[in-house]
Structure formats: structure tokens, C-alpha cells
Chain A
Amino acid sequence: MCGIVGLFLKDKSLEPKLGDMLTDMLITMTDRGPDSAGIAIYGSEAGGRTKLTVQSDAPDEAFDGLDGALAEALSTDVSIRVIDTHAVLDVPAGKSEEARAALAELRPGMRVMSAGDTIEIYKEVGLPEKVAERFNVRGMSGTHGIGHTRMATESAVTTEGAHPFSTGSDQCLVHNGSLSNHNSLRRKLQRDGVRIESQNDTEVGAAYLTWKMQHGATLGEALEGTLEDLDGFFNFVVGTKDGFGVVRDPIACKPAVMAETDQYVAFGSEYRALVNLPGIEDARVWEPEPATVYFWNH
């Protein structure tokens, strides 16, 4: 069991409240996933810049002087914003891969959570309420966001096992369910040069999407591919720079509810997660169909 929440805003006036609304939704899903929690938030874009969100178990040491060291390695300007165990590094666009390589040298124990123009991912072990508090998710604004509360089944309760998983630049994925062919698929993808860092089943799902898109598939086509190539139970919610997608496996035993109004599209593992959204009484509320890809774009 896990909990998923997602909110894709159509009405710009709600953007300053995105983090606040998502935090309430996330906390409601605590009893579906009290082990760990995470959130991907799509904030504002600074032209010509890329954001790398990094995490360290020893943030004081890891983030001390990191901006200077990275700036020197890349011979460019870098700024850093530290938030608890995470930090957002701001580098010139196009320097993302170079920065990743430099970070692996500079701080070998540090993890890159996400990279992209607008995405930031925060995730940690602990109750969703505590995790949201640590990163002040309530104060965040943005165009869309996805949150996850985890009850671990397929791998250990660790930061790297928490969701969301980044699936490429500005892409992320959260999962409720369990994949049964993740070991064989991981080997296959790794042989093809895809980076997979944990033993977690969901990361394989995320890597699969990245791999499909590297081979020319659109996100919609990659999601269609999961129905054929992934074995097991899944509700996936994915985010891209300007889009938001949902797919459920054909058996569809994991719960899902969606709501849409003129102001937003929302996803919740249960209706409880949606009850305090503005105008929910008059929203179109429905259960997404099995084996059907849903996608919204700005």
C-alpha cells in the first residue's frame, strides 16, 4: 500500500498555494504510507538555467563550499539553496550532465534527486507531515506537483527507496503497487546503458520510461509501453515540465480517484485526499479506467 497525490493547476491564481494544498493532500494519505514521503514540485523557470536537486545524509559537510567547488569544476557561476538534507544547485542550462559528473567526483556520497528547468524533488524517510515540514513544502509555489507516501514492499525503507523517482530532465514518477519483473528488466536496461541506482522496483519503471523516450517515444507512448512490458500492479503518476499523466495496470486493484474543474486536475489514491480542494463539490470526479493513459498539458 502507498498513497499518491497529484495536482496540476490550470488557474494561475492557485499557483502560490500549490505547496499548501499538496501538503494537506499528502498528510491525509499518511495511513497509506507512513514509512517515507516525497514530493516533486514544478516551480518557476529562470531562463537559461537548470536546477539540480541533490541530497546528502551528511548535509553540513556535503553542502559546505559546494557551490564554489562546482563553479570551479565547471568554470561557470553556480548558486546553491540549502533546504535541510537537500540543496538546489542552479547551473547554466546545458551544463546538467557535466555538473552530475563533477558532483560524483566532488561529493561521492551525495545523490542527485532531479535535474531540469523547473523540477525540484524532496524526499526522506519519516512521517509525511514531518517530511513536508522539513522542506517547508507548504511555502512552495508552482504549476503542478506530485506527492507520495510510502509503505515499502519491494525494497528497504531508505531515502533512495522513497518516491518520486526522476526519469530524466524535468520528469518524475511515483508508483503505487509492486512490479514483479523488475529484476530482469533492470538487467536488460542496464545492459543498454541506462542508469539505475537502487534495487527498487519503481526506479526500474522510471528508468523504463526514460529508456523508451530516449528511443524516440513520447511520454504518452512510453506510458502505453508499460502496459505491455511491465508485469505487476501499478498506478503511475508522472510529471513533465508542462504535463501530468496517469496510467493504471489492466487489473487496476490499486485505488485511484481523479477530479477536474476549470481550476485544476487532481489525483488521489482515495477521495479523502481531495475533499478540501476548492470547488470539489462541483468537480467532475471519476475513477481512471484500467490500461488507459491520461495526460494533461499546459
Chain B
Amino acid sequence: MQTYDLEANGLRGLNSALQELNGSSNKTAWEIVNPKGSHAIAVGLNSPVEVTVKGSTGYYCAGMNQQATVRVEGSVGPGVAENMMSGTVIVEGDASQYAGATGHGGLLVIKGNASSRCGISMKGIDIVVHGNIGHMCAFMGQAGNLVVLGDAGDALGDSCYEARFFVRGSVKSLGADCIEKEMRPEHIEILKDLLARAGADAKPEEFKRYGSARKLYNFDVDNAQAY
């Protein structure tokens, strides 16, 4: 276990040390102390390193992650795990806006609440939020799964493509072209696996599934006057 004091040694030193492991199969463990809300902690990692951040972070923690496991023992600012490709990011507290935005793969777990625009333009990432999510989540979501154990805010899944949304609580409103869909056995299986991997104590049968009505995929001449 290596310990890095971010306040004493600075951000660049941390990210270059972690990025030096990129491409290796080195499974070292790192602990980052005194994050104090700093931005861009543990970004651009590409090795199976395990990073634990002892406190809350600012913008873009664990951005562009590949392979690494990043655990934040606190809350995170905007854009956690933005554009994640693979690996796992776990936030013990809350996440600010656009958590997991544009993510292509990997698993993002938020044990608290996520605010607005969680999973915006998601492209294959799996996101499990133990609490509630804010408005405009998964806007233009293309692929992947967004699982919410609590409630969802306004305009869930607006203009979404093929991303799937599973919500256990209430949904304040659905966005344009997002509808409730039938929960089939294959969805129960997907959900069971995600809940287990996210350490979430919930039954797949308690959730409702939402997704695209696929009515915005093609131009409809009846809508011509809207442009």
C-alpha cells in the first residue's frame, strides 16, 4: 500500500505516478489522503491499480478511467468517472452533476445521491445509484444501464437511444420519447448482476424499466413545423 498526501505533494505528482503504471498488470494499492475537494484526482488511469481517496473530491475525479478501481470515501464534485471506458468507480457519498457522463464502459457506483444529468450521453457504462438522482439524467443515453434505488427527477431519459433505466422509486417525469417498458426475464438477470456487483440490497422485481420509444429516431413529417 502506497500513501500519497495530495495537499503536501500536489496533483501532478499523483496523476503521473498513477499513470506510470498504465499498460502494466501491476495490481498495486494506493491511498490518497487530504484530497480536500481537489479536481481531477486519479484521471487517465489504465491499469488494474486500486486507488482509495480518503475524503471528498472536486471536479472530474477518476475521469477517463480504464481497468482501475477508484473508491472515494467521501462525496465527489461534477463529472466523476466522465468518459469511463472500463474498471470500477465507487463513491461512498453523494455525486454532483453529470456523474458518469459519456461513459463507454465499466461500473460507477454511487452510494448516496447523484444530482442532475447523471449518465448524460452514456454510451455503455453501467451506473448504480443507491439514493436518488436529479433532473435530466441519461439525456441522449445511447447504451448501458442506469439503476436507481431511490427516486428519479424530471425528464429522465430525454431523447434517449438504447440505454436502459431501472428505477425502484418514483420518477418525477419522463423526458421526450422515454417510456416505461415491460420487465422481461433478461432484464431481471441484468439487474440482479448489477445490484450484486454494486453491493445494493434490493430485489430486481421491485424496479420498473424505462427506455426509448424510438419515435425520435427518424424524421417525422408531422413534426416539420416544429423546426
Question: Is A252 within 8 A of B77, CB to CB?
Answer: no
Interface residues of B in 32-90 (CB under 8 A from A): 36-38, 56-59, 75, 77-78
Question: Is A287 within 8 A of B94, CB to CB?
Answer: yes
Of the listed residues B37, B75, B116, B135, the one surrounded by the most CB atoms of chain A closer than 10 A to its CB is: B37
Residue of B nearest to A270 (CB): B58
Question: Is B37 within 8 A of A290, CB to CB?
Answer: no
- Enumerate chain A residues within 8 angstroms of B94, measured Cβ to Cβ: 285-287
B142 within 8 A of A: no
A271 within 8 A of B: yes
Question: Is B134 within 8 A of A290, CB to CB?
Answer: yes
Question: Is A271 within 8 A of B77, CB to CB?
Answer: yes
- Enumerate chain B residues within 8 angstroms of A274, measured Cβ to Cβ: 37
Q: Once the chains are docked, how many angstroms separate the CA of A253 from the CA of B116?
A: 8
Residue count of chain B within 8 Å CB distance of chain A? 17
- Enumerate chain A residues within 8 angstroms of B56, measured Cβ to Cβ: 271, 275, 285
Contact with B along A254-275 (1 / 0, CB 8 A): 0101000000000000111111
Q: How far apart are A105's CB and chain B's nearest CB, in angstroms?
A: 49
In the complex where A271-B75, A285-B75, A287-B115 touch, is A252 in contact with B37 (Cβ < 8 A)?
A: no
In the complex where A255-B96, A271-B37 touch, is A290 in contact with B58 (Cβ < 8 A)?
A: no
Q: How far apart are A277's CB and chain B's nearest CB, in angstroms?
A: 12
Question: Is B134 within 8 A of A271, CB to CB?
Answer: no
- Enumerate chain B residues within 8 angstroms of A285, measured Cβ to Cβ: 56, 75, 94
- Enumerate chain A residues within 8 angstroms of B115, measured Cβ to Cβ: 252, 287
Q: How far apart are B24's CB and chain A's nearest CB, in angstroms?
A: 32
Q: How far apart are B94's CB and chain A's nearest CB, in angstroms?
A: 7
Q: How far apart are B35's CB and chain A's nearest CB, in angstroms?
A: 9
Q: How far apart are A259's CB and chain B's nearest CB, in angstroms?
A: 11
Residue of A nearest to B115 (CB): A287
Residue of B nearest to A274 (CB): B37
Q: How far apart are A227's CB and chain B's nearest CB, in angstroms?
A: 14
Q: Once the chains are docked, how many angstroms separate the CA of A290 from the CA of B77?
A: 16
- Enumerate chain B residues within 8 angstroms of A271, measured Cβ to Cβ: 37, 56-58, 75, 77
Contact with A along B110-133 (1 / 0, CB 8 A): 000001100000000000000000
- The contact of B38 among A255, A257, A272, by CB within 8 Å, is A272
- The contact of B78 among A255, A272, A275, A286, by CB within 8 Å, is A255
Residue of A nearest to B114 (CB): A287
Q: Once the chains are docked, how many angstroms separate the CA of A287 from the CA of B38?
A: 17
Question: Is A275 within 8 A of B37, CB to CB?
Answer: yes
Question: Is A252 within 8 A of B58, CB to CB?
Answer: no
In the complex where A271-B58, A287-B94, A290-B135 touch, is A255 in contact with B37 (Cβ < 8 A)?
A: no
Q: How far apart are B217's CB and chain A's nearest CB, in angstroms?
A: 26
Of the listed residues A255, A272, A285, the one surrounded by the most CB atoms of chain B closer than 10 A to its CB is: A272
Question: Is A255 within 8 A of B36, CB to CB?
Answer: no
Of the listed residues A252, A253, A271, A285, the one surrounded by the most CB atoms of chain B closer than 10 A to its CB is: A271
Q: How far apart are A134's CB and chain B's nearest CB, in angstroms?
A: 27
Question: Is A252 within 8 A of B116, CB to CB?
Answer: yes
Question: Is B75 within 8 A of A272, CB to CB?
Answer: no
Question: Is B135 within 8 A of A270, CB to CB?
Answer: no
In the complex where A272-B36, A272-B58, A290-B134 touch, is A255 in contact with B75 (Cβ < 8 A)?
A: no
Residue of B nearest to A285 (CB): B75
Contact with A along B129-166 (1 / 0, CB 8 A): 00000110000000000000000000000000000000
Q: How far apart are A21's CB and chain B's nearest CB, in angstroms?
A: 15
Residue of A nearest to B34 (CB): A275
Question: Is A253 within 8 A of B97, CB to CB?
Answer: yes
Q: Once the chains are docked, how many angstroms separate the CA of A131 from the CA of B122?
A: 43
- Enumerate chain A residues within 8 angstroms of B75, measured Cβ to Cβ: 271, 285
Question: Is B116 within 8 A of A270, CB to CB?
Answer: no
Question: Is B97 within 8 A of A270, CB to CB?
Answer: no
- Enumerate chain B residues within 8 angstroms of A273, measured Cβ to Cβ: 37
Q: Can you list 23 residue pairs at the A/B interface with Cβ under 8 Å?
A: A250-B135, A252-B97, A252-B116, A252-B135, A253-B97, A255-B78, A255-B96, A257-B96, A270-B37, A270-B59, A270-B77, A271-B37, A271-B75, A272-B37, A273-B37, A275-B36, A275-B37, A275-B56, A285-B56, A287-B94, A287-B96, A289-B134, A290-B134
- Given A255-B78, A287-B94, list of 11 further CB < 8 A pairs? A250-B135, A253-B97, A270-B37, A271-B58, A271-B75, A271-B77, A272-B36, A272-B37, A273-B37, A290-B116, A290-B134
Q: Which residues from chain A sit less than 8 Å from chain B, CB to CB?
A: 250, 252-253, 255, 257, 270-275, 285-287, 289-290
